[in-house]
Structure 1
Amino acid sequence: MTFDALWDSILEVGREPATGGYRRFAWSDADLTLREWFIGCAGERGMSVEEDRNGNLWAWWLPAGWQGDPVDAFVTGSHLDSVPDGGAYDGPLGVVSAFAAIDLVRAQGIEPHRPVAVVAFSDEEGARFGVACVGSQLTTGALKPERALALRDADGITLAEALTRAGRNPRHLGADPTLSDRVGVYVELHVEQGRALDLVDQPLAVASAIWPHGRWLFTFTGEANHAGATRLIDRRDPMLAYASTVHTARQAAELHAAVATFGKLRVLPNGANAIPSEILAWLDARATDEPTLTRLVEQITSEAHKHAAGDRIELRVEAESITPIVEFPAAPRARINRALGHLGDIPVLPTAAGHDAGILSAQVPTAMLFVRNPTGISHSPAEYARPEDCRAGAEALAAVLTDWITVP
């Protein structure tokens, strides 16, 4: 099947008609539909499918006569879930390209000398339960099962409950002790989340590093009261401290040449004629290195406490997830450049976006390929990659796959 046919087969899954964006949240109906699509793609190619203890899907192409469990495999893929009203490409492009690459390799009559897997990691975006890369973090042991199972979505449903409703056993969650044996290298293809490639007119890039990043929950607690009957001087309105903190975060990010975003907010009691009693606000912060990220968050937190104190507001700040810098190893990058030598010089780019490849890098060799995004927009319906660039990405991944499975 061609890349275009594979791509078209999932375009309508989870799409929200009103926005044109996608709502493919972990363990939702859309997510379960995409899981069935993944299993179907594997079956059409004669690949066996495994759903591991953390809900990650693995489709295996094994060498002829292979006996026993896979080891030292070439693994590629990405994820299938989305942020709220996200774009079509973030995640699914890597999974579709992986199956398309296998089709291209097989069309040449090439058989692997080592196992090959296409993987779809569960809940990469963290859109439903608030923590990113849940599937890969559980697999590497970076996220403990007890914490993961207690995570709640906006409706109060825990991950444990969601798994049970989806027919999975939440007691199975946990680290995979065989990961480093099974995976020889993980190469993730992903749409670029920025415009660097468009600015240099190149369709593809190799990743050099992922910026350190994290999410922090700021809880501003004041006092609910009547919006009309309460004098300004008597108010303990947490919205004021929160709003001031948003401005502080922007200024601090500019000072540190970093990025800081308050993009998720929960207001209690959330009435138009009521002064809020509590504001829950999530900070997403990213920087070029870990000391800069630490200074950035410390500055935002310190200023937020000042704003809160000035408005007689209580403030609690909790780190929900912190991911250290990932510098992709030189050896896989060099091998990718060799396999793609026919394409000329390929740009090497860092990224401020987190990925499953970054999580796995603590235990296995990892690398990433980026496909040009001419809009520079991601996590939005406007996210885009040209069809010819997507095909070029699948062809490049096929060349990398060929090199890894034919050269011992």
Structure 2
Amino acid sequence: MNILQDLKHLKHISLPTRPVICKCLIIVIGLIVLRAIVSPFLAINSSEKSFYESATLDLFPGVRKDKFVEVPQIIWGLNNQKIAFARACLTAKYLNRSLLMPSLSASLFYKEVDLLQPITFDKVFDFNKFNARCHGFARLARYSEVSNHTEPFILQKGSGRRWTVERDLDQLQQSRLGVVDGSEVIHITGKHPFLWPDHWPVKDYARIFECLALAPEVETEVVKVISKIREAGRKARHEAAISHNKNKMDGLTDLPVQYIAVHMRIEKDWMIHCKKWEQRSNLNEICSSKGEIIHKVSQITDLRRPVVVYLAVADGLLEDDSVTSGWRVGMIAYEKKKLGVTTIYDRQPYLIKSAIDFERSYISWGRQAHAVRMLACRPMHTMSLEMMAAHSDG
């Protein structure tokens, strides 16, 4: 009788626990099944990973992807083209539209527009990186994304003195409404973007510039130039070790090779332009001579000498070829020919040559007064303006 009572007691204890055990088993089985489903995705390669990451980003709101802005070909020098591109991006952003990938200009002609050689944006800059970095702020689109369901709306940019900044902004405001906004594509004609009235804060330009990265093919050429600069730095260090007390140089030879790249704005076309600019603005701090540039570079602290100074300059536009002379002791100046990289540059159009130089130029002189122009001179990586010297791994 006692045994039967004990069994009944056990039965009453076990009954409430069965649902708990079942629930636990179901959870365990569910986790095993979920792991089996998810595990293939955890082993995807980098290209597949970027696809899934971009798909995740698209879940968040941003610039409209079914409305577009098309702009005229962007022209002139690299700095001006970067500013014009940023202005076009910010205009499209204001209209809450994607900017159709613009044509840049591979050649440098100021008046002979018919001689300009168009080059697509993605031949110079990385299209995907731009959209990833600027996600939610601005967006580039390819022409293949346009469905052509509606005729483009032609937006003619005004010109002349009567076309004020206020009138231009009013035109953009009207383009955000009604029939114009219903068009799939707004095609802006007239002046090219660099000459458009400027409505946007400097910080927005900075954001666009930070989204720019060189196309992989151009970056490959940059790496080749950098390897030559490092090689020159190692050679200079070795020669210094021989000519000085070797024991004093032992610690230096173990340190990473240090170099500094300077974009010298002393070409003929720039000097003519900046002199006129100084006269119009009644300023005398826009142009810089070679001597001023040498003095300012020599004032940079924390440079372990000897140091290679790579001069990024348009050799063909110089008034003389003495840019490598006159530098201070311990500062060894190299230009393209002396460095042995002319073949790298010669096979590239003007715009690519400039992009290679700007990516490695940590200082840009002559002096430039406009804040946006200063931002455009910044290299397209994330180092701050104060980091004038470039450190490598040797």
Q: TM-score, normalised by structure 2?
A: 0.23
Q: TM-score, normalised by structure 1?
A: 0.23
Larger RCO (alpha carbons 8 Å, 6+ apart): 1
Considering only CA atoms, is the larger Rg found in Structure 1 or Structure 2? 2
Higher strand share: 1
Higher helix share: 2
